[in-house]
Structure 1
Amino acid sequence: MPETILPDAIELTKALIAAESVTPARGSVFDVLEAALLPLGFKVERFIEGEAPEGPVENLLAVRGTSGRHFAFAGHLDVVPPGQGWTSGAFEPEVRGGLLYGRGAVDMKGAIAAFVAAAARVEGGVTTLIITGDEEGPATYGTPRLIERMAERGLLPDLCLVGEPTSQHRLGDMIKIGRRGSTVIDIVVPGKQGHVAYPHLADNPVPRLVRALAEIDAITLDQGNAWFQPSNIEIIDLTVGNPATNVIPGEARARISIRFNDQQYGPDLIARIEEIVQSHAPAGIVKGRVYGEAFLTEPGELSTLISGAIRDRLGVETELSTTGGTSDARFLSKLCPVVEFGLLNATMHKLDEAVALPDLVALTDVYAEILKRAFA
């Protein structure tokens, strides 16, 4: 029987980049990952769910082992649109000056490749890969559906590592032990259109919306705490859509975004905004969507395990943080302790996204050390 050729993190990253996978992703990029996993003894299950506009989305669940400690790695193969102005093709991986360029190099195809290469070195226990094609989008049919599939199969990890690019200045200098929650709220204040010279025959919605927004903008939700910065409310859109100079508009709209810590709860925030809006505009309509609640994995076994592996392999002291945007860890935190750790995030979502080749090699080493410690 021919000897199995172990996957190389750099070559696998190149292959994943070359498989274009703008969110929601499916198809060839999952073919590449499945082909790398099957020779390592993983049982791979792929499924597609959802309809446009939030789907269809492909997900992959790969499991190796049947008993012992269960360690899960979670990530996403979808990427944000590349935009215009790349030095080379966004989906044409190219090495220049020790850097591998391509959309998804750090967010997060490089980390997925590094984990696969690490898993090739370490056996024992149960290893699971939870990989979605919809993390950069609404995530409706992504990781939540993977979690449902895992529950159906009785798969419950003991520990979970999400390979998001958490490093700030050098590999391993920061890991995420929690994230703030996120909600976006749309506000519509109806009025009655009319001529500006006859305001008594119209009903201008703009002043009522402005007063409501002023009250909302003045809110101080909290002062933060030991692990989280203060929650913040941001007005991100204000629209009347009135091209005329002599017409009182019949409607005014606004959108606000709230990033909140674990002292707040998404539905309560939406209800508070609705109360304020209706105090100024009783006919106002408020619709909110919670994209994720805040979560915290208290410092303990998992963060100590990861920090220790980073220290031993890289000689770096790691900062535990909850900063940044949301990730799919918000869903996975309901299963087990979750920590995020991956490549440098300096070029994520930017033109000419790139990863240093030595960082891919080093990340593979650290991931392998994490697995060894988890199964020890």
Structure 2
Amino acid sequence: MQLTEILSELISFKSITPKDGGSLKFLSDLLKKKNFTCTNLNFGNKKNNTFTTNQFASLKNGNGPHICFAGHVDVVPPGNLNSWSSNPFKAVIKNGKIYGRGACDMKGAIAAYIVAIYNFLDVNKNFKGTISLMTTSDEEGNAKFGTKKIVEWLKKNKIKIDFCIVGEPTNPKLVGEVAKIGRRGSVNCQLTVKGKQGHVAYPKNAINPISDLIKYLNKLQQPLDRGNVNFQPSNLELTSIDTGNVVDNLIPEKISAKFNIRFNTNFTSQGIKKIIKDRLNSVGKNYTIKFNVSGEPFIKESKKYKSFLKKSVKEIAGIDLKMNTSGGTSDARFISKLCPVIEFGPVGKTMHQINENVKIKDLEILSDIYLKFLEKFFSR
């Protein structure tokens, strides 16, 4: 199958997190044609809508290094269908682009590395080593039963991977501009301050918690650090403030503020929690706070394989690949506990947007880069 055919089929599966919609069977059917062994790894519970389908497919041909391509078939909901120019789950090719939910994030990359694997195996039947694909339907959601569980299964079964490429859309404008060699950690926080409810005309009979909250938030706005050689400075961003008030003449009983902290390798999540509590305690103790850690910061790279990717990009796209750690969290945070990992995929300009799309030429370039990388990876 051609790249556009594979991607069109993938888009047709309504794989909204955590459902794969039949897309993993489609992938396994493609891979079995090249003698891959496909193992379904299902976790979660259907009763609470956490049931997640995952797949680990591998082709071992003698002794040699093991390269893994990782990705997700799940997509975010399409939103208002009337805002789309076409059915989000029916691929449309127009003006050199393919439109549909997941075209950019990240079914396009999956199609690109399937084609790269096919092209590699057609010419290199006697390669020595292992090629695998790690695919989940739980990346866009809580990610509790997806790649995290696959990595645990791989460790339990003592399956060693030498290097992994995650096909997330990393490029801002052109394929070959940027790869991610790490990511910052993320902590979501909810700060609640209590007061005493009362009428706004009688403030002496009430305690307004908003005044205290402002003091706490001012203290939290102080810089966390200046960054380091691989990471930008950590940052705290306020995302919401809520009193639950529906009238204008009521001093609220309590007020809550939500904020997110993206932190670099200067800290761990435990260290961040301590800093936040210390800062709050320096102002007062009329608060409660809840933390939810989404991921720890990481950077885990291989100089050799990083060089292979840079050379592959230069040879195919004619671009000097830059590597950084900016952006949000991804499943690479789980894979980093298993092996060196780099994220490299298509242009991410339209991911999660109405009329999500990707340039066909970009995917062809991406697939050729993946192919060139495979050739270098298994060269002796």
Fold shared by both chains (TM-score > 0.5): yes
What SS does structure 1 have at the residue aligned with 2:70? strand
Return the offset for 1:260. Answer: 1.4
Deviations 1:253-307 (A, max 9, x none): 0111111111121122123223333444524221111111111235611211111
Structure 2 residue corresponding to 1:57, chosen from 18, 29, 52: 52
Deviations 1:43-102 (A, max 9, x none): 111132224667122111111106321101110111111122111111110000111101
Deviations 1:151-199 (A, max 9, x none): 1221121011110111222111111111111111111122232333444
Equivalent-residue separation in structure 1 for 2:234 and 2:373 (angstroms) = 33
- Does structure 1 residue 34 correspond to structure 2 residue 28? yes
Stretches of structure 2 that go unaligned for 5 or more consecutive residues are 122-126
Deviations 1:101-125 (A, max 9, x none): 0111111101111111111233431
Alignment of 1:279-290 (within 5 A): 279-290=282-293
Equivalent-residue separation in structure 1 for 2:107 and 2:373 (angstroms) = 19
Return the offset for 1:202. Answer: 3.1
Residues 302 and 339, structure 1, Cα contact 8 Å, conserved in 2? no
Alignment of 1:38-187 (within 5 A): 38-51=32-45, 55-65=50-60, 67-84=63-80, 85-123=83-121, 124=127, 125-187=129-191
Q: 1:310 to 1:327 in 2, by over 3 A?
A: same
Residues 54 and 140, structure 1, Cα contact 8 Å, conserved in 2? no
- Does structure 1 residue 356 correspond to structure 2 residue 352? no
How many correspondences in the alignment? 369
- Does structure 1 residue 255 correspond to structure 2 residue 269? no
Return the offset for 1:209. Answer: 1.5
Residues 301 and 341, structure 2, Cα contact 8 Å, conserved in 1? no
What SS does structure 2 have at the residue aligned with 1:120? helix
What TM-score do the two structures reach when normalised by structure 2? 0.92
Structure 2 residue corresponding to 1:16, chosen from 10, 34, 42: 10
What SS does structure 2 have at the residue aligned with 1:106? coil
Partner of 1:4: none
2:73 aligned partner, one-letter code? L
Q: 1:291 to 1:54 in 2, by over 3 A?
A: farther
What SS does structure 1 have at the residue aligned with 2:16? coil
Percent of aligned pairs sharing the same letter: 39
Residues 302 and 340, structure 2, Cα contact 8 Å, conserved in 1? no
What SS does structure 1 have at the residue aligned with 2:165? strand
Residues 17 and 105, structure 1, Cα contact 8 Å, conserved in 2? yes
What TM-score do the two structures reach when normalised by structure 1? 0.93
1:36 aligned partner, one-letter code? L
Equivalent-residue separation in structure 1 for 2:48 and 2:210 (angstroms) = 32
The Cα RMSD (Å) is 1.7
Deviations 1:119-155 (A, max 9, x none): 1233431111111111111111111101011112211
* Worse-superposed segment, 278-287 or 339-348: 278-287
Equivalent-residue separation in structure 2 for 1:37 and 1:298 (angstroms) = 28
Equivalent-residue separation in structure 1 for 2:217 and 2:287 (angstroms) = 12
